[in-house]
Structure 1
Amino acid sequence: MWTVWLWAKAIRLSVLTTYKPHVTHLYNQVTIKPGQRLYMVNQLYPYTVKFTEETPRSAAEGIKASKRPHPENVMSHSDHHSMDSPPPKKTPTPSSDKSESAGHWSQGLKASMQDPKMQVYKDDRVVVIKDKYPKARYHWLVLPWDSISSLKVLRSEHCDLLKHMQKVGEKMVQQSPDAQKLRFRLGYHAIPSMSHVHLHVISQDFDSPCLKNKKHWNSFTTEYFIESQDVIAMLEADGKVTVKEGTSELLKLPLRCHVCRKEHPTIPKLKEHLLSHLSS
């Protein structure tokens, strides 16, 4: 029996055991922590013990690698469905808009706008797609072909583009079979979760199974939803879009009907109430 005392840095132990002449097999590898006692007993086969010193950094990297998520757990697509299971908050950096991974869930719109099956209209400046998780009977997204990450990077030179996006959105409303029956709004989320600026064109019935929680509701029925014309006006006046401080707190407001302002305790109760407005 061998007893080995290790007091230095972490050491990786490799045991090479010879089972037959000229055949060497790597039997095991273990990491020995500083101060740990090692007992080795082998009465059957000759063996060779090899010690490799590990730095704290390499040991930490090994632990980090073992904790990487399985690819099946990675999230994917849509501005609004992401509110069902919000991603972990990250500290923003000045280069975050440019450094986003192409496969990150927040980049889903860029893939959708290139998908012919999703497209319902396109020209040389914009494309219109159906929202994958519509919050109403009619819910489209108007996106520019130009790479514009969010409202915060818009400047006065983008005014013409946003006016064109609004005209295209209005055209979608006019072509809707229920254009005379339903009311529509065109606008932007003040703090969108999806990269690439996009204009929502949404009917105000909110009759959809994808509308599931308070965040969904308040993102379209409070000042969190900024009218298209107001965004254009800000750009023309100030050369940028300003989001009011505390806007994110609007998502936590009580559930109030956008028509009569009556408060409801749950989404199912609110939806039941909304049907009364549709039938009247």
Structure 2
Amino acid sequence: MSLCPWLIVHSIEYLGLNPTSIDSVVVGKDSEVKMKAGQKLHIVNQLYPYTVQFKEDTTGGHGGNKTPREMASEERESHREALSVKAAKQTENTSVPDSLGENIKNTESFAPWSQGLKTSMQDPKMQVYKDDKVVVIKDKYPKARYHWLVLPWQTISSLKALREEHCDLVKHMHQVAEQMVQQCPDATSLRFRTGYHAIPSMSQVHLHVISQDFDSPSLKNKKHWNSFTTDYFMDSQDVIQMLETDGKVTVKEGTSELLKLPLRCHICRKELPTIPALKEHLKSHLPR
């Protein structure tokens, strides 16, 4: 198995929580270790072994003015997104205990990196609001000036795991989202939307509350844009109605293809050729 593209650099820096090792040498947290082709990288207590294969650098250096670390960061994010649809579609019939000790049917299997939300929601430094049912955190990679996530304490893998009995919880999530908008200092000048990604990349159902300026350096590619401006983004009220009517949330076949649509302004529907061109165009819609 070849290593994912972000490891084309000849060193690896351990940033996460899970133990990592190269061959039999453990890499300490925040340590950077040189690697050679053919060595084995073991991730998460040696559960995921990878054999390193470096590919030729076709950029003529380190990608222009970008540092190796910046390139690695961008490549990691792109690789994570490329895996997200595949990870979300994989299913398995397992039961996992929720926060109350009850067993809930888990209908989806996510890659190990996708468990990050479960860690963030427990971190007091990440929390901006919480009650006995939900917690609100700031998105680590906000795609707009204001971008929050509303998560239930109860373990629910994704939209597909929601059922009629979750109606009250989902309505409460929507109410909390509205409260977040109301307390926002720019609530009168910016529009907001609340909704869910039809095919999430992260485990644990989460409601996005996002301002429609999309003024953020973290919005970098077509997948980012289309995940919030097409039907890939399912409105919170529509999800509530599905649960009340059908007792479940239905994701249309072919929804993942929406991420490949051309870049179009979500306000005037003008088509733009690139993300930089789109961002420049969006400035014309910002409040003056």
User: Are residue 159 (structure 1) and residue 159 (structure 2) matched?
Assistant: no
CA distance in 2 between counterparts of 1:267 and 1:119 reads 31
Contact 1:83 1:216 in 2 (8 A): no
Counterparts of residues 1-280 of structure 1 (less than 5 Å): 68-71=40-43, 84-86=78-80, 88=83, 89=86, 92-95=90-93, 98=96, 104-279=112-287
Structure 2: give runs of 5+ residues left out of the alignment. 1-37, 49-74, 97-105
CA distance in 2 between counterparts of 1:263 and 1:97 reads 45
Contact 1:83 1:215 in 2 (8 A): no
Residue aligned with 1:136, SS: coil
* Cα distance, 1:97 vs structure 2: 7.7
Q: Residues 101 and 257 from structure 1, CA distance in 2 versus in 1: closer, same or farther, beyond 3 angstroms? A: closer
Contact 2:263 2:274 in 1 (8 A): yes
Structure 1: give runs of 5+ residues left out of the alignment. 1-65, 75-80
Contact 2:110 2:202 in 1 (8 A): no
CA distance in 2 between counterparts of 1:95 and 1:273 reads 46
Seq. identity, %: 74
Contact 1:186 1:201 in 2 (8 A): yes
* Cα distance, 1:83 vs structure 2: 5.5
CA distance in 1 between counterparts of 2:172 and 2:216 reads 28
CA distance in 1 between counterparts of 2:116 and 2:76 reads 11
- The CA RMSD over aligned residues, in Å, is 2.6
Q: How many residue pairs were aligned? A: 209
- Greater share of residues in strand: 1
CA distance in 1 between counterparts of 2:40 and 2:265 reads 43
CA distance in 2 between counterparts of 1:101 and 1:241 reads 18
Residue aligned with 1:84, SS: helix
Alpha-carbon deviations, 1:243-267, whole Å to 9, x = none? 0010000000000000000000000
CA distance in 2 between counterparts of 1:96 and 1:266 reads 42
Q: Residues 82 and 242 from structure 1, CA distance in 2 versus in 1: closer, same or farther, beyond 3 angstroms? A: farther
Highest CA radius of gyration, 1 or 2? Answer: 1
Q: Residues 235 and 102 from structure 1, CA distance in 2 versus in 1: closer, same or farther, beyond 3 angstroms? A: closer
TM-score (norm: length of structure 2): 0.67
